[in-house]
Amino acid sequence: MTVARPAGPLGPAASAIVALLEQRTGQQLDAGRAWRIDSALQPMLRERGLSTLDELVARINDRASSERGLADLVVDALLNQETSFFRDAATLDTVVQAGIDMVAETPRRLRIWSAACSTGQEPLSMAMLFAEASERTGILPPEIRATDISMRALMRARAARYTQFEIQRGLPIRRMMQWFEPRDDLWEAKAELRFRLLYGQQNLIADPMPAGKFDIVLCRNVLMYLSPATRGVVLDRIAPVLRPGGLLVLGAGETVIGHTDALVPSERYRGLYRPAAH
C-alpha cells in the first residue's frame, strides 16, 4: 500500500507514519506524543541499515521491495503496550462481583472478552480473580477470550512469561506464588492458569467481532488513543456482542457518554456500562 503524507507540524516522514497508524488502527499520535515515533522505530531502522524515517517510509512505499508486511511491523512497533497486573484493582473487584451476581441470577459459565489485552496481564488477572471467586462461591470458571491488535503483544501474552519488573507491578506476592513459577530468569504463568484463556488477534475497527455474546467486555485504555468519531465506531461494534444485562468495562477517565447511544452507564455497578434497552 502507499502511505499518504499529510501536511502538519511533524516532518513529512513522521506525518506519513502517524497517518499509517490512524488508518490501520484508528489510533491518533498527536504532536505531544510524536516523540515515540523515533524511539519506537529506531530498532527497525538499525536492523535494516536505514538512517532516517524518510528512508523507512520510502521502503514501505516501494512496491518492488522484497520486505512485505513492513507497514504492519511499523504500526505494531508504535502501539502502546503499557499494562500491569490488577490495574485499577477496585474496578476488577467490581467486575468479579458483577459476574458472581450474573451467575446467581442465571446459572451459566460466563463469557468474558479482554478486547485489548496487550501482553496479557489483564486477562490473567481476571483468570486469577475468577479462580478465587470459583473457590469461594462454586461458580464455574469463565471462558476468557483475550485479543489485541498487536501480534507482538499477543505473542508475549500467549507465552505468559514476565520479567522481574513486570511480575512485580500490581501482582501481590501470594498470588505470584500460587499462579506463577520461575523459568529461565522469567516468571511464567502456570499451565492451569494459561489454559483458561483463548487468544486471538483483533482489530476493533476493522475485523469481524468475535462470535457469540459476552457477559463482560473489558476495553480499557483504548478509547483514549482514538478520535471521538472512532470511539463511537468501536463502542457501536462492541454493544451488539454484549448479552442483555452484560457489562462493558472502560479505563479510568474513559466513557461512552457522547460517543454512542448503544451503551449507557450501569445503575447497579458504578463505572461500568450496559447495553441500552431499545
- Of the candidate residues 63, 138, 165, 208, the single one contacting other proteins (CB under 8 A): 165
Cα separation of 115 and 242, whole Å? 12
Q: Which is nearer to other proteins, 164 or 227 (CB)?
A: 164
Q: Which is nearer to other proteins, 105 or 184 (CB)?
A: 184
Q: Given CA atoms 27, 29, 35, 38 in this order, what sign does their dihedral have? A: positive
| Residue 145: exposure state from Cβ atoms within 10 A (0-12, 13-18, ≥19) | buried
Contact flag: residue 137 with other proteins (CB under 8 A): no
Q: Which is nearer to other proteins, 173 or 211 (CB)?
A: 173
Contact flag: residue 178 with other proteins (CB under 8 A): no
Contact flag: residue 172 with other proteins (CB under 8 A): yes
Cα separation of 272 and 95, whole Å? 8
CB of 209 closer than 8 Å to CB of 241:
yes
Binding region for other proteins (CB under 8 A) out of 72-80, 127-135, 163-171, 214-222: 163-171
Contact flag: residue 134 with other proteins (CB under 8 A): no
Type of residue found at 248: L
CB of 85 closer than 8 Å to CB of 129:
no
- Of the candidate residues 134, 168, 203, 266, the single one contacting other proteins (CB under 8 A): 168
Q: How far is the CB of 189 from other proteins (least distance, A)?
A: 15
Q: Which is nearer to other proteins, 61 or 84 (CB)?
A: 84
Q: Which of residues 76-115 bind other proteins (CB under 8 A)?
A: 84
Edge to edge, what strands does the sheet with 161-162 contain? 161-162, 186-189, 180-183
Contact flag: residue 169 with other proteins (CB under 8 A): yes
- Residue 208: how many other CB atoms lie within 10 Å: 8
Binding region for other proteins (CB under 8 A) out of 69-77, 94-102, 134-142, 166-174: 166-174
Q: Which is nearer to other proteins, 63 or 183 (CB)?
A: 183
Q: How far is the CB of 216 from other proteins (least distance, A)?
A: 24
Phi, psi of 114, rounded to the nearest 5 degrees: -95, 100
Contact flag: residue 184 with other proteins (CB under 8 A): no
Phi, psi of 179, rounded to the nearest 5 degrees: -115, -5
Cα separation of 175 and 116, whole Å? 23
Q: Which is nearer to other proteins, 69 or 165 (CB)?
A: 165
- Of the candidate residues 4, 67, 81, 182, the single one contacting other proteins (CB under 8 A): 182
Residue corresponding to grid cell 469461594 = 136
Residues paired with residue 274 on neighbouring β-strands, in sequence order = 264
Q: Which is nearer to other proteins, 174 or 278 (CB)?
A: 174
Contact flag: residue 186 with other proteins (CB under 8 A): no
C-alpha distance from residue 70 to each of 21, 60, 64, 74, 110 (Å): 13, 6, 13, 6, 39
Binding site for other proteins (CB under 8 A): 84, 164-165, 168-170, 172-174, 176-177, 181-182
